[in-house]
Chains A and B, each alone.
Chain A
Amino acid sequence: QSVLTQPPSVSGAPGQRVTISCTGSSSDIGAGYDVHWYQQFPGTAPKLLIYDNSNRPSGVPDRFSGSKSGTSASLAISGLQAEDEADYYCQSFDSRLSGLGVFGGGTKLTVL
């Protein structure tokens, strides 16, 4: 069972906006650690999508945005496109693990 909780799946039609939640606790996200998000297509390595809660690496479309509040974080995808269909993972750090990292269980995004 993952330390960070994500919905197993979300879906949306092309053009719509979807959000993926990442719920933690006072030992991880709530302890002030940053949250990062990754996108993974089948058979490929994950790719950094959002870092430090809300920042996009170069090349990531501005349709992707991240936020953090309290013990939770969210990834929003607007203007949904078929190519966005992938698995999404949040990641933060856990003070109970001396600051080592933890992942969410992952969310499968289906574009209808």
Chain B
Amino acid sequence: EVQLVQSGAEVKKPGESLKISCKGSAYTFTSCWIAWVRQMPGKGLEWMGIIYPGDSETRYSPSFQGQVTISADKSISTAYLQWSSLRVSDTAIYYCARLKYSNAAFDSWGQGTLITVSS
């Protein structure tokens, strides 16, 4: 069974940096895309960007370009989402999800990582 397991919840202060992870298993990690999706409290889903771990090709939604960095380490089947300077407005649940190709459906999701940014 395909699984995406995300790192645990984090509580951070504004201005701090953070890197969360998403580890894939039971499939060829380098042959599928990984996306990151944000869900702010009580709100809908937002597409942040995607990465192809096979060659690290990365694409960002304009709303998130320059705000976050998406990366992957194919040797350990893990994708990452990182911030260099968190804001209170980054408080949200972040999901990783798998796509078999860049405009496919998200056929498998991580459990989500809650990020709380508060002074």
Is B45 a contact partner of A46 (Cβ separation < 8 A)? yes
Question: In the complex, what residues of A have CB within 8 A of residue B103's CB?
Answer: 33-34, 93, 99, 101
A70-96 contact mask (Cβ, 8 Å, vs B): 1 or 0: 000000000000000001010101000
Contact of A48 with B107 at beta-carbon distance under 8 Å, contacts A2-B44, A99-B102, A100-B61 already known: yes
Q: How far is the CB of B11 from chain A (nearest CB, A)?
A: 18
Is A97 a contact partner of B35 (Cβ separation < 8 A)? no
Secondary structure call for the B interface: strand
Q: Please tell me if A104 contacts chain B, counting CB pairs below 8 Å.
A: yes
Is B47 a contact partner of A102 (Cβ separation < 8 A)? yes
Is A46 a contact partner of B95 (Cβ separation < 8 A)? yes
- The interface of chain B, by Cβ under 8 A from chain A, is 35, 37, 44-47, 49-50, 59-62, 95, 97, 102-112
Some 28 contacts from A to B, beta carbons below 8 A apart, are A36-B105, A36-B106, A38-B45, A45-B95, A46-B37, A46-B45, A46-B106, A47-B109, A48-B105, A48-B108, A52-B105, A87-B44, A89-B45, A91-B45, A91-B47, A91-B105, A97-B61, A99-B102, A100-B47, A100-B49, A100-B60, A100-B61, A101-B47, A101-B61, A103-B45, A104-B44, A105-B44, A106-B45
